[in-house]
Amino acid sequence: MNLTSRKIGKYIAGITLSLTVAFSGSTLIAPKQVEAATASASSTASKVISVGKRYLGTPYVFGASAGQTRSFDCSSFTQYVYKQVGISLPRSSKSQSKSGRFVSKSQLQPGDLIFSDTNRDGSINHVSIYMGNNKILHTYRKGIGVTISTFKGSTWDKTYVTARRVM
């Protein structure tokens, strides 16, 4: 499969996932105030994911400069994407892991940040965006860049430390 075919495949997968997230929702009837808050968070999560997917394939560079889009590391990516929807995050994954509020792994919702200790040295060193449906949007390793990965059973799941809701 050539590079162009892979990009087209990723683009189609991205559109499909965006539509799935955009049209998924609760079938329960909730009070209007709760319903409005849920719709707002869901809308923000959809925007975060949509913005992030624009950068699929963007190169990974450890220590990439904040605020630019030529390359990202995991935390410059999340910082940039959330800033585009009006949410400020600190620069490092470790600092980002203290933002927002704790959410348990079993309660993950699209737009939540997932933090991992991939070096297994007791320190958070990776952040990704939960997309829903067991998928994460993130960037890692030179040659891979911004990508969508499966969460359950992955390195990021096996080295999971915490998750935060920043919306």
120-165: pLDDT as tens digits = 999 999 999 999 999 999 999 999 999 999 999 999 999 999 999 9
87-115: pLDDT as tens digits = 999 999 999 999 999 999 999 999 999 99
Q: Which of 17, 45, 74, 146 is catalytic?
A: 74
Q: Which of 21, 45, 52, 138 is catalytic?
A: 138
**pLDDT given for residue 35 in this prediction:** 44
pTM more than 0.85 = no
CA 142 to chain centre: 18
Rounded to whole angstroms, the Cα distance separating 127 from 129 reads 7
Fold of 3-165: endopeptidase fold (from Nostoc punctiforme) (3.90.1720)
Map out the domains of the chain as residue ranges: 3-165
| 126 in active site | yes
Contacts of 13 (CB under 8 A, 6+ apart): 148
Rounded to whole angstroms, the Cα distance separating 44 from 62 reads 27
